[in-house]
Structure 1
Amino acid sequence: MTGLRDKMQVIRRRGVALATAFVSVAATVGLAAVTPAAAAPGCRVDYTVPSQWSGGFTANVAVTNTGDRVSGWRLTWTWPAGQQVTQAWNATVTSSGSQVTAVDAGYNAVIEPNSTVAFGFNGSWTGANTAPQSFALNGVTCTGGPGTPPTTTTTTSGGPAPGDAMAQVAEMQPGWNLGNTLDSTGGDETSWGNPRITEALLDNVKAQGFKSIRIPVTWGQHQGPAPGYAIETAYLNRVKEVVGWALADGFHVMINIHHDSWQWINTMPSDRAGVLARYNAIWTQLAAAFRDSPAKLVFESVNEPQFTGSSGDAQNAQLLHELNASFRDIVRRSGGNNTNRLLVLPTLHTSSEQARLDELASSLNTFKDPNIAATVHYYGYWPFSVNVAGGTHFDATAQKDLTDSFDRVYNTFIARGVPVILGEYGLLGFDRHTGTIQQGEKLKFFEQFGHYARAKKITTMLWDNGQHFGRTSFQWSDPELIAQIKSSWTTRSGTASTDQVFSAKASAISAKTITLNLNGTTFNSLRQGTTELVRGTDYTVQGDRLTLTAAALTRLSGSRNYGTNAVLTAHFSQGVPWRINIVTYDPPVLQNATGTTSSFAIPTAFRGDLLATMEAKYADGSNAGPHNWTSYKEFDRTFAPNYTTGVTTLTSDFFAEVNDNRPVTLTFHYWSGTKVTYVVTRSGSAVTGTTA
């Protein structure tokens, strides 16, 4: 992606993915589940090791219940070769010597008949990493189901054969971007606000289950003058140091030329020879510096290529072809491991539009190089991704944008044997804060994204400029988000039409119905904490319709203070639970205000409600403010709620495109469905606001 600041100007920072050898160990063992009065208990455990590196490995454990209902589970096993668990997810895992115990995480305590729960962990090993030979569930040794003897199968692979690009890219799933660091344009890796990269950061990223890391690098400010364009020795050594750490951690690593794309490469239409000379100088030096690095190091020619002042699509395609061809030739001629190293080539703007995909496909046909992957980026349907033009929901239009994009990528490349790396993904509102897109709608996007990318065999790399995984805290800023992302790597999750159930305080409480998006799962239970609500009394489920009864909502709402009174979780046969907030509200109340175009805030008593979007129109019905092709303005760019201080701010960006002395009627849309109107009038730099 381009830019840390604005996707519209697209200036982003990306990285390098690197491929290392891995060992895959799979063991399938029968497992008997214990329930208080089980007539025929039974279950199956699938234990797999999808990734292994020197001294470490990642394991996935899936427990399928083939017997009676299990409520609360405890899985135990013995390490045959002294392995240790270092970090786990979706379960609490402890060990004493070679004995290991995994206990449910609360939300996945129940295993219905014919359902599966899964958890994973990272571990350490020395000497050998032999799979456990038996498991026990709730104290009973696994038998694979009633009367079935335990079986164990183990397969070992050294990873894909050299030159197997499709297999190598598959091994890189999932990936993570070390954004806004070595790609920063301020001259230092800390100039965009992130700390210096440490080995501990990379170790902790690895512990999250990521298999590849993209290290975006901007080179221009660290280059000398023509004709040599020498890269500063200290800077190149720093990049080599970080790449070395990542390789040592077992990552596939991808490095690139990043923000140079819009800083100087974009001038290629008017300075073809100069840009090519400088670009070629960078890759000549990088090819030499990393010539003997292992095959897990991957080169990406350029991030989000773009050209200024070209004659149109045909010239853009030709210029990008020249860059990609020159990059490929330089790397291949440099010898060593570069002869067969995986090279990653982007479309123009890393777009998934069909014309852009076809242009890259044409280039690949001329190269006839089997060790090449294509790359695109995906930040969602733009109105939804930034919350503009009424794009508040991950609706059918936003979903179709995603599936159409991935279908085009699959049909153009993957179906024809060319692997694809989705080098960046996310939602553009993340560059500001994660509140721009409503939480439930955001989670639905990532659930569908992960599922469909997996279905289309696309390797994905999360864009993280520091807003997701803390660079020193090593904690996720949004645990729900990363839980959904991780779950989507292996399975689907159930969601719903909303994660908010509103009841007006001024009215009597009535039953409320939401639609479940089962996504191939089955609904199991509804809980408040660890307490299960009673089906038929507290709620009913008919097909995909979940109805909360008036009696249950009355109990859950308690004294009916404004805001969230209770939190429920819907549990499905697989994936992560779906959170449902029970909210009491009344229509928000706005007050008159005065201010300036640079500082204007509307006093707002939100009264438990939450702002979804805002419309702006002149008295004649025409649209006011930025993006005047739509009445719905961009969340956070033009308006923003502050629930703590009780104000709704209108920004200078909004007033910059509002006409003087023409009253603008604002319509605030809230998530409860409430609409409130307000009128603002600009006169020079002065602004007055009145309730409608």
Structure 2
Amino acid sequence: MALLPLLPATARAADPPVPPPSAPAARSAVAAMQPGWNMGNTYDAIPDETSWGNPPVTRELLRKVRAQGFKSIRLPVTWGTHQGAAPDYRIDPVWMAKVRQVVDWALEENLYVLLNMHHDSWMWVNNLSTDHDAVLARYKATWTQIAAEFRNAPARLVLESINEPQFSNTSGDDENYRLLAELDKVFHTIVRESGGRNTDRLLVLPTLYTNSEQGRLDALAAELADLRDPMVATTIHFYGWWPFSVNINGYTRFDATSEQDLIAQFDRVHNAFTARGIPVIVGEYALLAYDHNRPGIIEAGEQLKYFEFLGAHARERKLTTMLWDAGQFLNRNTLQWRDPDLFAQIRSSWTTRSGTASTDQVFLSKSGPITGQTLTLNPNGTDFQGLRHGSRTLVQGRDYTLSGDQLTLTAAALTELAGDRAYGVNATLEARFSRGVPWRINVRTFDTPVLSSASGDTTGLTIPTRFRGDMLATMAAKYDDGSNAGPADWADFQQWDASFTAYTDDAIKLTPEFVKSLKDGSRVTLTFHFWSGDTVTYHVTKSGDTVTGTSR
């Protein structure tokens, strides 16, 4: 065969086609959608809107969301549980009317609405490879009905082809990309040919798994190059560096590794799309393990640093972000934020940076003398302006010293703040900066936690624990031969919630999954790491269906 000339790396045949830039109207619409909020675990819930713990949607909820500064909502909808049989796959008109009502309410509140097909992606659409014609017929029927229902809705209604697309029983990514491109093309054709305002409505297409790996981005870029539609945007999801977002393998802090992972993902998306004039929506973001019902998995200050940095880098890369809220952020019964400090940080990140510090906890040992404590400030481009305790401004030189980014609380100030030195939080300070939200610092009195002997079975082991003002960070598990113990036997440190929990003030619990994974008759040494820096060792042995634990 004839030899082809060697092309520059940027022009190799293997490179994905470069899609044309989106229209200014598409870019301005996506920019106007920033920031966005997901109405998660409601119309995507199975089988109905209240099945996953949230109350019915009210107009007041939409007003609250708008009043809090959100410019758009993402409305995830699972359609398949509200459809009739083939060949029509008729959507229940009562269900369609519910969805329509929420869309209308949101539009009347001057919000953009991103409407999608949600859990259908894993309930039936994922079978496209093995049941191609039936799945495609149902997908076409579903989007034909949605497109017809909303064909004349205002342009602030935006449609998303499918949530987190995935396919089972395929030969690999090449087939996955082909299947997703087929679905997206069908979606695009149906909506555009349905007429009305759908002829130029903004449409949103996801990467495979809504993932930002380069191969996924390249495949979507090829789709866009094929469609050549100026009113199309792209979407990915982001839940942080996985080990940090679930607290496994010792990643308890939003450290340089987590930060670089975020930067890399947002930069790839920017380079693939935003820099080429194609808008990007981070259609879901949060932390995988964040849940108001399970505090402690990710320490409060580390969460704040994550959300602060995420908002800042998304702004830098011109990405529109939509907070995934399944009820863990906004209490939809009271319309109050469950953690006002966390939401204040999220909201501030939409427009500016905030100063943070290496920690939000200062631990004072009750059994020892109080000494000065040093934190490292992270001004993030702001200027440090002092410390406050309630209405009192602390005095530099007497209460604290500042040397570069090293903030030292003096022993005298800490003695006063600790008061009677009861276990737990004795005082909360605010480090104030020239802009953004203050950084809260809890002054805590503690002593090394005490764990007592316990017995249990394959349903788990409850270890009576006196925390004495401290907080659990993570747990390592090793057999006597030095090998790792637990379900995640590749990791020194096991995953919070999967292997252990600490949600009450009187116990640490080992999960059934952890106990069942243990080798019969082999002793396991657990090392519990606490946020004070203290560690406590504990020994567990399983014999048949019985498990015993001792601190000796």
TM range (shorter): over 0.9
Note the C-alpha offset of 1:414: 0.3
1:429 is paired with a residue of what secondary structure? coil
2:199 & 2:181 partners in 1: Cα distance? 20
Partner of 1:179: 40
- State the match for 1:598 in structure 2: 459
CA distance in structure 2 between the partners assigned to 1:433 and 1:603 by the alignment: 19
Equivalent in the alignment of 2:54: 194
2:406 — aligned with what?
545
Q: Which runs of 4+ in 1 moved over 4 A?
A: none
1:636 aligns with 2:485: no
Counterpart residue identity of residue 379, structure 1: Y
- CA deviation string 1:7-50 (max 9, x = no partner): xxxxxxxxxxxxxxxxxxxxxxxxxxxxxxxxxxxxxxxxxxxx
- 2:146 match: 286
Amino acid at match of 1:392: T
Equivalent position SS for 1:430: coil
Q: Secondary structure at the match of 1:320?
A: helix
2:172 alignment partner, one of 295, 303, 312: 312
Listed one character per residue, the Cα deviations across residues 83-104 of structure 1 (whole Å, up to 9, x for unaligned) are: xxxxxxxxxxxxxxxxxxxxxx
Q: Where do 1:367-382 residues align within 5 Å?
A: 367-382=227-242
- The answer as to whether partners of 1:565 and 1:584 remain within 8 angstroms in 2 is yes
1:448 to 294, 309, 316: 309
Question: CA offsets per residue over residues 440-477 of structure 1, 9 Å max, x none?
Answer: 00000000000000111000000011111111200000
- Quote how far apart the aligned CAs of 1:434 are: 4.2
CA distance in 2, matches of 1:624, 1:433: 24
**Aligned match of 1:557 in 418, 421, 425?**
418
Change (3 A) 1:203 1:390: same
Match of 1:397 in 2: 257
Contact preservation (8 Å) 1:163, 1:341: no
2:358 counterpart residue number: 497
Please tell me the residue identity of whatever aligns with 1:352: S
Corresponding residue to 1:678 among 538, 542, 550: 538
Q: CA RMSD in A?
A: 1.2
Contact 2:245-2:287 within 8 A present in 1 as well? yes
Which residue of 2 is the match for residue 252 of structure 1?
112
Matches within 5 A, 1:57-136: none
Partners in 1 of 2:285 and 2:401 — Cα distance? Answer: 37
1:201/1:472 contact within 8 Å kept: no
Contact 1:345 1:374 in 2 (8 A): yes
In structure 2, which of residues 331, 339, 349 is the aligned counterpart of residue 488 of structure 1?
349
Q: What is the CA distance between 1:218 and its match in structure 2? A: 0.3
> What amino acid sits opposite 1:286 in the alignment?
I
Query: 1:433 offset after TM fit, Å?
Result: 2.7
Letter in 2 for 1:571: R
- 1:141 aligns with none
Task: Indicate if the aligned counterparts of 2:23 and 2:231 stay in contact, CA closer than 8 A.
Answer: no
Q: Is the 2:470–2:531 contact (alpha carbons within 8 Å) kept by the matching residues of 1?
A: yes
Aligned residues: 530
Any conservation in 1 of the 2:33–2:72 contact (CA below 8 Å)? yes
Counterpart secondary structure, 2:331: coil
Matched, 1:226 2:79: no
Is the 8 Å Cα contact of residues 606 and 643 (structure 1) preserved in structure 2? Answer: no
Residue 363 of structure 1 aligns with an amino acid whose one-letter code is E
CA contact (8 A) 2:337 2:343 kept: yes
Q: Indicate yes or no: 2:158 matched with 1:298.
A: yes
d(CA) in 1 for partners of 2:269, 2:422: 49
Q: Which amino acid aligns with 1:503?
A: L
Matched, 1:242 2:102: yes
8 Å contact from structure 1 (residues 284, 330) kept in 2: yes
Report whether the alignment pairs 1:328 with 2:160. Answer: no
Report the counterpart of residue 611 of structure 1 in structure 2: 472
Deviation of 1:597 after TM superposition, in Å, equals: 2.1
Structure 1 partner of 2:371: 510
Question: C-alpha distance in 2, partners of 1:343/1:435?
Answer: 39
CA distance in 1, matches of 2:329, 2:485: 34
Question: Aligned equivalents of 1:450 and 1:276: distance in 2?
Answer: 38
The answer (yes or no) to whether the contact 1:494–1:516 under 8 Å persists in 2 is: yes
CA contact (8 A) 2:281 2:321 kept: yes
- Give, in angstroms, the shift of residue 163 of structure 1: 6.3
Instruction: Report 1:351-430 matches (<5 A).
Output: 351-430=211-290
Corresponding position of 2:65? 205
Deviations 1:97-141 (CA, angstroms, capped at 9, x unpaired):
xxxxxxxxxxxxxxxxxxxxxxxxxxxxxxxxxxxxxxxxxxxxx
Q: Which residue type is aligned with residue 277 of structure 1?
A: A
CA contact (8 A) 1:162 1:340 kept: no
2:206 equivalent to 1:346:
yes
Distance 1:167 1:626 in 2: 48
Q: What amino acid is the match of 1:576? A: V
Deviation at residue 162 of structure 1 after TM alignment: 8.6
Name the structure where helix makes up a greater proportion of residues.
2
CA separation of 1:328 and 1:232: change in aligned 2, threshold 3 A? same
| 2-structure distance, mates of 1:222, 1:583 | 52
Q: Distance in 2 between matches of 1:548 and 1:528?
A: 12
SS in 2 for 1:428: coil
Question: What secondary structure does 2:338 align onto?
Answer: coil
Partners of 1:268 and 1:554 in 2: how far apart? 66
Residue in structure 2 matched with residue 687 of structure 1 by the alignment: 547
Q: Deviations along 1:492-530, whole A, 9 cap, x unmatched?
A: 000000001112111111111110001000100101011
8 A Cα contact 2:39 2:75, kept in partner: yes
Letter in 2 for 1:525: G
**Inter-partner Cα distance in structure 2 for 1:629 and 1:228:** 49
Q: Does 310-319 or 271-280 show the bigger shift?
A: 271-280
Counterpart code for 2:421: R
Report if the CA contact (8 A) 1:163-1:340 is conserved: no
Q: Give the match's secondary structure for 1:164.
A: helix
More strand by proportion, 1 or 2?
1
Task: Output the amino acid matched with 1:511.
Answer: G
> What displacement does 1:410 show?
0.3
- Going from structure 1 to structure 2, the CA distance change for 1:482 and 1:461 (only over 3 Å counts) comes to same
Corresponding residue number in structure 2 for 1:521: 382
Give 1:643 shift.
4.2
Letter of the structure 1 residue corresponding to residue 356 of structure 2: T
Cα distance in 2 for partners of 1:238, 1:602 equals: 47
